Amino acid sequence: MDHMLTLIAADGGLDDDTTARLRAALADLGADTLSPQWLAQGRAVDLPFALLAPDQAEAAARQLLSARPVDVVAQSAGQRRKMLLLADMDSTVVIGETLDELADFAGLKDEIAAITARAMNGEIDFADAFRERVGRLAGLPETCLEETFRRIRLMPGGSTLVATMKAEGAFTVLVSGGFRFFTGRVRDRCGFDRDIGNDIEIIDGRLSGQIIEPILDRGGKYRSLTTIAAERHLPLSLCLAVGDGANDLEMIEAAGLGVAFHAKPAVAAQARTRIDHNDLTALLFVQGYREDEFAG
């Protein structure tokens, strides 16, 4: 079969009746299907199909399952397991936005968060918004960075995603428009091979409000993807990029598997693949990993 349709249920409520009804719906559209292949009983299943475009298969599955928290991904059945992972940090690998949490120490969290939300939805330029937000934190003690890191919580499934892909030989990179102070620590906590982020200026133990240029923005994330793929002699078809904000769109669109993860509306509308309901282990199911193959 040429293609694979993957269903991942956040409520664990998939069953044989659901897959049978879906096969019938695809057959009505002219598709051939094979028997479902369970990746995790009740939670994730692969359905091989042919003679139907992936977007048509996805649309049929989403219509059938519209009332349930099920993520649906249709793709080519070949080369599903990727050998390079580039993952955004804020609201993807960690819960929330680190810069917003840092702003809390200056009493500016709501104000900064409003700017962040607009930038992540693509309403304003990321680099300009980043400079503005950092500028408002001038004078904040450096110790607030460590205090902010103590608040950070990993997104469920992130460590498992990284450990499982690394066990299969993939190279994993955390790439963020946030501060390298955080990316380095999250890299170590989550197990990434490498991290890429922005540097901020600190003078006499306080944030100066200045960023050390150049700023890693959406173009920088795209260049990170293409450069690291070239360094490792990998085609983009063997790369997975995941993020939630507008500055992630270029790398998401360029990667063989580009995923909008619990994404902002503008990003979800443009991305080819979306995960709206599940945690980051969904990215393993999409690559065809069975639950008993998960590492970590």
Residue 154 β-bridge partners = 94
Question: What is the per-residue pLDDT for 177?
Answer: 93
Residue 241 β-bridge partners = 86, 258
Identical fold between 1-78 and 81-296? no
Token pair 């104000």 is found at 111
55 phi, psi to nearest 5 deg: -65, -30
Answer whether 3's CB lies under 8 Å from 78's CB.
no
Question: What is the per-residue pLDDT for 20?
Answer: 97
Estimate to the nearest angstrom the gap between the alpha carbon of 247 and the chain centroid. 12
Question: What is the per-residue pLDDT for 200?
Answer: 93
Domain ranges of the chain: 1-78, 81-296
What is the homologous superfamily of the domain 1-78 according to CATH? ACT domain (3.30.70.260)
Residue 202 β-bridge partners = 207
Question: Annotated catalytic residue: which of 16, 32, 46, 90?
Answer: 90
Low-confidence ranges of the chain (pLDDT < 70): none
Give me Rg for the CA atoms of the chain: 20
Question: What is the per-residue pLDDT for 121?
Answer: 87
Question: What is the per-residue pLDDT for 296?
Answer: 75
239 phi, psi to nearest 5 deg: -115, 145
Question: What is the per-residue pLDDT for 175?
Answer: 98
Options 3.40.50.1000, 3.40.50.300, 3.30.30.60, 3.40.640.10; CATH for 81-296 is 3.40.50.1000
CB atoms within 10 A of CB 25: 16
Active-site residue 128, yes or no?
no
What residue type is assigned to position 131 of the chain?
R
Question: Annotated catalytic residue: which of 46, 88, 195, 244?
Answer: 88
Active-site residue 90, yes or no?
yes
Q: How far apart are CA 161 and CA 173, in angstroms?
A: 12
